[in-house]
């Protein structure tokens, strides 16, 4: 475990990316994130992905589960020319590993939810609340869910697993 003062120096004062700290200290990306949270150090949320910050790209691909094409399309829509090959090259530059071949992206299949959230979603949908409104309600509570995952829950599809972190993995 890194000391709080060390993390503050590297992350806050020197403004290093989480991935840079992980590499320098021979830790996994997630370990650094956990330690930042443990010490109460707020995690930066890069707002301009056009700068190709490694933390933003890692979060988009691994934490939000977006596909290479999805990230490239979002970049194009933001007015920055980009292809999935560009995204893949940037991932290689930053040392961000790819998901296993054939693995589905979390964009389609997972959401950070508690099982009670699933019950709430289904109840709201039954009451005729639009899915966009449900996503807004969850976002206000700090929960993220993709349109695809929400649609699966509303349709009554079951989940395969609920992890200790509360990730609901939906059955395909």
Instruction: Give the global pTM.
Output: 0.39
pLDDT confidence of residue 79: 64
Compare 37 and 82 and report the one with higher pLDDT. Answer: 37
Task: Judge whether 4 and 32 are in contact, CB under 8 Å.
Answer: no
Q: What's the mean per-residue pLDDT of the chain?
A: 75
Residue entry with tokens 């020197």: 14
Phi, psi of 145 (to 5 degrees): -150, 140
Q: What is the dihedral of CA 132, 44, 64, 113, to 10 degrees?
A: -60
How many angstroms separate the CA atoms of 64 and 143, rounded? 12
pLDDT confidence of residue 171: 42
pLDDT(28) > 90: no
Compare 170 and 16 and report the one with higher pLDDT. Answer: 16
Q: pLDDT band at 110, cuts 50/70/90?
A: very low
pLDDT confidence of residue 39: 93
From the list 8, 33, 41, 26, the residue with the least C-alpha distance to 95 is 26
pLDDT digits (tens, 9 = 90+) for 115-153: 677 778 888 888 888 877 887 787 777 777 777 677 777
Q: pLDDT band at 108, cuts 50/70/90?
A: very low
Task: Judge whether 67 and 37 are in contact, CB under 8 Å.
Answer: no
Please spell the DSSP secondary structure of the chain, one letter per residue: ---HHHHIIIIIIS---HHHHHHHTT--HHHHHHHHHHTTPPPP--S-GGG--HHHHHIIIIIS---HHHHHHHHHHTT----HHHHHHHHHHHTPPPPPTTPPPHHHHEEE--HHHHHHHHHHHHTT--HHHHHHHHHHTT--B-HHHHHHHHTTPPEEEE-TT-EEEEP-
Phi, psi of 170 (to 5 degrees): -85, 145
């Amino acid at each position: 475990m890194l000391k709080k003062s060390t993390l503050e120096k590297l992350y806050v004062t020197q403004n290093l990316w989480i991935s840079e700290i992980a590499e320098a200290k021979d830790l996994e990306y997630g370990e650094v994130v956990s330690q930042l949270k443990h010490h109460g150090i707020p995690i930066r949320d890069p707002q301009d992905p056009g700068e190709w910050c490694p933390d933003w790209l890692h979060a988009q691909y691994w934490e939000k589960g977006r596909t290479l094409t999805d990230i490239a399309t979002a970049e194009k829509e933001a007015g920055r020319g980009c292809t999935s090959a560009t995204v893949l090259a940037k991932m290689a530059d930053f040392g961000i590993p790819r998901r296993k071949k054939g693995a589905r992206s979390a964009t389609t299949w997972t959401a950070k939810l508690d099982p009670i959230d699933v019950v709430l979603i289904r109840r709201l949908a039954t009451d005729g609340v639009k899915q966009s409104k449900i996503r807004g309600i969850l976002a206000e509570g700090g929960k993220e869910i993709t349109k695809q995952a929400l649609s699966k829950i509303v349709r009554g599809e079951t989940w395969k697993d609920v992890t200790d972190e509360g990730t609901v993995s939906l059955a395909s």
